[in-house]
Amino acid sequence: MPLLEVKNLQVRVEEREILHGLTLTVNEGEVHAIMGPNGSGKSTLSHVIAGKPGYAVTGGQVLFKGEDLLAMAPDERAAKGVFLAFQYPVEIPGVATMNFLRTALNAQRKARGEAEFSTPDFLKKVREVSKSLNIPQDMLKRGVNVGFSGGEKKRNEVLQMALFQPSLCILDEMDSGLDIDALRIAADGVNALRSPERSMIVITHYQRLLNYIVPDVVHVMSKGRVVTSGGKELALELEASGYAQFEDAAA
Amino acid sequence: MNVALVKTDKSRAGSDLFALARDRLPGTGKVAEVREQAFATFERLGLPHRRVEEYKYTDLRALMREVLPLAGAPDAAALARAKAALASVVVDGAAKLVLVDGVFAAGLSDTDGLDAGVTVQTLREALEAGKAELLETTVIDPMLALNTALATDGVIVNIGDGAKLSRPIQVIHVATAAKASRASRSHVVLGNGAQANVVESIVVAEGAAGYQANDAVAITVGDHAVLSYTRLMRDAADAINISSALVTVGAKSKLNLFNMTSGGGVSRLQGFITLAGEDSELTINGVNLLRAKQHGDLTLVVDHAVPGCTSRENFRAVLDDRAHSVFQGRIIVKPRAQKTDGKMMTRALLLSDEAEADNKPELEIFADDVSCGHGATSGALDDSLLFYLRARGLPERQAQALLIQAFVGEAIEAIEDEALRERVIDIAQAWLEARYHE
């Protein structure tokens, strides 16, 4: 059984249809890249999978481990193993990062009927992971993402991924706003999480990110559909020829 | 004509109230004279209503209707109920001073274990000794005038020059009466160079309901002194609490005031604060946590009378159901108060479409070299923050609770004493938990 099956998904925002019958299958352990020009619906797809309000699904379905994902609340999806790394992680003043991480992890464990993490185990785990991601301890005491640089915010997303151990990670434009060093640190963090039990969807406008996170499959989206799919070499082709050819194909 | 008629009725009821209470009120001679004058002021002004600018959003004629007769002195059974109510509010290590229905309860208080340099007297003793100045004030306000007329008792806490207290002093008001009122007047006097942490807790004992509290505290801070004053109001949901704080701050001192209102059906705390000595710092943080049909009003008048003082006011209201929160903040900068730095921020979080927040900031600036400002926001929880938390696994109510906690946390952080801060966070969390389990 595939981990994620998106079948003929149609999505509207207000009166405008953004996804016009999108189909995508991700098997366990695979890393898929979704590329495409601005406005092709890449971020909409990630938001709909994560359960962001404001999108009306007018047709199709999304199955996750065979279950109807669209019937679940966002927090239930998280507990089932869906993780969206935000393109623009929000700042939450007054909620200390450490408190947030513990609350979120324990909420997920509780929803799965697992015991809550003990404090020493939790602290040990956070320390381990944050060290590997170059996240200083004092950052964890600050409000969630408050005063963080773009790179720090993305590393904080990867830190959460490492703690929550989701089975599907969706990285929405992880490279946006990052310089090459920040990108490398974040990408190394992601690569360390690659495993046969974990799938990833890497959404990006540029091929550059895929030099660091090498995908198994590349899809090109245009105007709300997947217009072509191929191996990692497809990304390089795109880099050379641009998206124009696919925009015509989708029209 | 109707209005005049209603007023006449109220005044008559009020006159009876004073006449009936007079025998119980301590003090003769000058003290009695001050009371008579204050009562005349109350009768002239009557219960304030919405056409009185200061009470525009808190119409006591509509919300309170009448002043109930004073509660009798608590009997043994009432004191026993009061004692039981203390358990939930006592701050660890604090020296307790307990007032039950506005009357000092020596048996429930810790007057023996006070720090060196601290003396405590009851208002009753002081008034019986003729100290009329303890009731006098220059502030003209009908509810304060009523307090002056009817103040039955209170505590007078004197913290001598240079005394640095090792433990907090906690003044606890307990209501045990039903359908009765209380009036207390307390004083906290902090000498030059002294440092203290005072907590005022307002609670309800089992069986008390529908009562009216009118407590006033006069706080006098000397020079080079540091005072933290934290007020936690948790009156019964059908009680009325109209309280006043009369504050004077000397030179080069720091005063950190905090109020949290989570109880009471109708409440108002009015603070009249005068910065009377140069180069002092005043910080006021307020939190209202209101639900159902609760009405909570924080009204502050900060008077920069001298140059070089800083004042910071930060108010947060969390409003559910049909709750109504009022913040009125006036900053007055007198002509000679150059280099004044006064800022005021008020924010309301509306958890329901029917909740209401009224904010009225006023700046009256008569000096030309000052930095003053105010800001106000009100709105619902931010959807993008809620989604982020839910996408990380927090169920809706828990995500809301975390954001609300953060919202009020920014005011609560101003409490320097860690144990007390934790206590206040616990109260806020309990409020949220109750919401979570509705």
User: Residue B96 and residue B33: Cα distance in Å, rounded?
Assistant: 32
- Give one DSSP letter per residue of B210-256, joined into a string: S-EEEEEEEEEE-TT-EEEEEEEE---TT-EEEEEEEEEE-TT-EEE
Q: How many CB pairs under 8 A join A and B?
A: 76
| Chain B closest-CA separation from residue A17 CA (Å) | 22
Find the mean pLDDT for residues B236-253: 98
| Chain A closest-CA separation from residue B287 CA (Å) | 15
| DSSP-derived secondary structure letter, B369 | S
Which residue in B394, B410, B422, B425 has the most chain A C-beta atoms within 10 A of its own C-beta, making it the best mutation to test that interface? B394
**Chain A residues lying within 8 Å of B389, measured CB to CB:** 92, 100, 104
Q: Which CATH architecture has domain A4-250?
A: 3-Layer(aba) Sandwich (3.40)
Instruction: Tell me what pLDDT residue A250 has.
Output: 52
Helix-strand-coil split of chain A, %, nearest 5: 40, 30, 30
Q: Are B319 and B347 a contacting pair, CB within 8 Å?
A: no
| Chain A closest-CA separation from residue B393 CA (Å) | 4
Helices (H), B60-119: 60-63, 76-86
Q: Is B390 close to A79, i.e. CB distance below 8 A?
A: no
Residue B51 corresponds to which tokens in the numbers above?
């056409």
| Chain B closest-CA separation from residue A9 CA (Å) | 21
- Which among A78, A92, A94 is the nearest to B391, CB-wise? A78
Which residue in B389, B400, B403 has the most chain A C-beta atoms within 10 A of its own C-beta, making it the best mutation to test that interface? B389
Q: Does A116 touch chain B (CB under 8 A)?
A: no
Across all residues in chain B, what is the average pLDDT?
A: 94
Q: Does B407 touch chain A (CB under 8 A)?
A: yes
- Residue B412: is its pLDDT beyond 80? yes
CA distances from B84 to B112, B174, B182, B283, B334 (A): 21, 10, 20, 34, 48
* C-alpha atoms less than 13 angstroms from C-alpha of B386 in its C-beta half-sphere: 15
Residues B342, B242, B120: CA angle, nearest 5 degrees:
85
pLDDT digits (tens, 9 = 90+) for B169-189: 999 999 999 999 999 999 999
The residue of chain A with its CA nearest to that of B412 is A94
Q: Is B387 close to A111, i.e. CB distance below 8 A?
A: no
- Which among B384, B393, B409 is the nearest to A90, CB-wise? B384
User: Residue B62 and residue B293: Cα distance in Å, rounded?
Assistant: 14
Q: Does B403 touch chain A (CB under 8 A)?
A: yes
Percent of chain B surpassing pLDDT 90: 90
Handedness of CA B14, B19, B24, B29 (dihedral sign): positive
The residue of chain B with its CA nearest to that of A108 is B393
Quickly state the pLDDT bin for A251 (edges 50, 70, 90): very low
Quickly state the pLDDT bin for B20 (edges 50, 70, 90): confident
Rama region for A223: left / alpha / beta (φ>0; ψ in -120 to 50; rest): left
User: Residue B374 and residue B389: Cα distance in Å, rounded?
Assistant: 31
What is the C-alpha R_g of chain B?
21
- Which among B382, B393, B410 is the nearest to A107, CB-wise? B393
The residue of chain A with its CA nearest to that of B409 is A94
**Amino acid identity of A74?**
P
Residues of chain A numbered 56-95 and touching chain B (CB < 8 Å): 73-75, 77-79, 83-84, 86, 89-90, 92-95
- Kind and range of the H or E run holding B165: none
Q: Does B410 touch chain A (CB under 8 A)?
A: yes
Which residue in B314, B385, B386, B387 has the most chain A C-beta atoms within 10 A of its own C-beta, making it the best mutation to test that interface? B387
Instruction: Tell me what pLDDT residue B11 has.
Output: 46
Q: Is B385 close to A104, i.e. CB distance below 8 A?
A: no
Q: Are B286 and B49 a contacting pair, CB within 8 Å?
A: no
| Strand ranges in B126-239 using DSSP code E only, listed in sequence order | 155-159, 169-175, 181-190, 195-204, 212-221, 226-233
Q: Are A143 and A94 a contacting pair, CB within 8 Å?
A: yes
pLDDT digits (tens, 9 = 90+) for B189-238: 999 999 999 999 999 999 999 999 999 999 999 999 999 999 999 999 99
Q: Considering only CA atoms, which of B173, B170, B260 is closest in space to residue B208?
A: B173
| Chain B closest-CA separation from residue A243 CA (Å) | 31
Q: Does B385 touch chain A (CB under 8 A)?
A: yes
pLDDT digits (tens, 9 = 90+) for B91-122: 989 999 999 999 999 999 998 889 999 999 99
Q: Is A75 close to B407, i.e. CB distance below 8 A?
A: no
Q: Is A164 close to B388, i.e. CB distance below 8 A?
A: no
Quickly state the pLDDT bin for A240 (edges 50, 70, 90): confident
- Which among B388, B398, B407 is the nearest to A86, CB-wise? B388
Percent of chain A surpassing pLDDT 90: 73
The residue of chain B with its CA nearest to that of A79 is B393
Q: Is B390 close to A143, i.e. CB distance below 8 A?
A: no
Q: Does B406 touch chain A (CB under 8 A)?
A: yes
Tokens 């001298």 sit at which residue? Answer: B306
Quickly state the pLDDT bin for B16 (edges 50, 70, 90): confident
pLDDT digits (tens, 9 = 90+) for A211-225: 999 999 999 999 999
Q: Is A51 close to B388, i.e. CB distance below 8 A?
A: no
Which residue in B382, B385, B387, B392 has the most chain A C-beta atoms within 10 A of its own C-beta, making it the best mutation to test that interface? B392
Quickly state the pLDDT bin for A237 (edges 50, 70, 90): confident
**Chain A residues lying within 8 Å of B385, measured CB to CB:** 90, 92
Q: Is A108 close to B398, i.e. CB distance below 8 A?
A: no
- Which among B388, B399, B407 is the nearest to A90, CB-wise? B388
Q: Is B398 close to A107, i.e. CB distance below 8 A?
A: yes
Q: Are B177 and B79 a contacting pair, CB within 8 Å?
A: no
Of residues B149 and A121, more confidently modeled: B149
| Chain A closest-CA separation from residue B425 CA (Å) | 13
Quickly state the pLDDT bin for A109 (edges 50, 70, 90): very high
Give A204-208's long-range contacts (Cβ < 8 A, gap of 24+).
A204/A33, A204/A34, A204/A35, A204/A171, A204/A173, A204/A174, A204/A175, A205/A35, A205/A36, A205/A37, A205/A38, A205/A173, A205/A176, A206/A175, A206/A239, A207/A35, A207/A235, A207/A236, A207/A238, A207/A239, A208/A175, A208/A183
pLDDT digits (tens, 9 = 90+) for A13-60: 998 999 999 999 999 999 999 999 888 999 999 999 999 999 999 999
Instruction: Tell me what pLDDT residue B5 has.
Output: 36
Instruction: Tell me what pLDDT residue B14 has.
Output: 59
**Chain A residues lying within 8 Å of B387, measured CB to CB:** 52-53, 74
CA distances from B56 to A48, B50, B52, B137, B359 (A): 48, 4, 6, 23, 11
Q: How many helices (H) and strands (E) does chain B have?
A: 9, 19
pLDDT digits (tens, 9 = 90+) for B256-267: 999 999 999 999
Quickly state the pLDDT bin for B9 (edges 50, 70, 90): very low
Q: Does A108 touch chain B (CB under 8 A)?
A: yes
Instruction: Tell me what pLDDT residue B19 has.
Output: 85
Q: Please enumerate in sequence order all residues whose Cβ is within 8 A of that of B106, keeping only pairs 6 or more positions apart, or say none.
A: none
Q: Are B308 and B342 a contacting pair, CB within 8 Å?
A: no
Q: Are A3 and A28 a contacting pair, CB within 8 Å?
A: yes
Q: Is B388 close to A89, i.e. CB distance below 8 A?
A: yes
What are the residue boundaries of the structural domains of chain B, listed by start? 2-277, 382-438
Rounded to the nearest 10 degrees, the angle between the axes of helix A97-111 and helix A150-164 is 30
Instruction: Tell me what pLDDT residue B18 has.
Output: 87
Q: Considering only CA atoms, which of B230, B298, B313 is closest in space to residue B264?
A: B298
User: Residue B194 and residue B282: Cα distance in Å, rounded?
Assistant: 16
- Residue B28: is its pLDDT beyond 50? yes
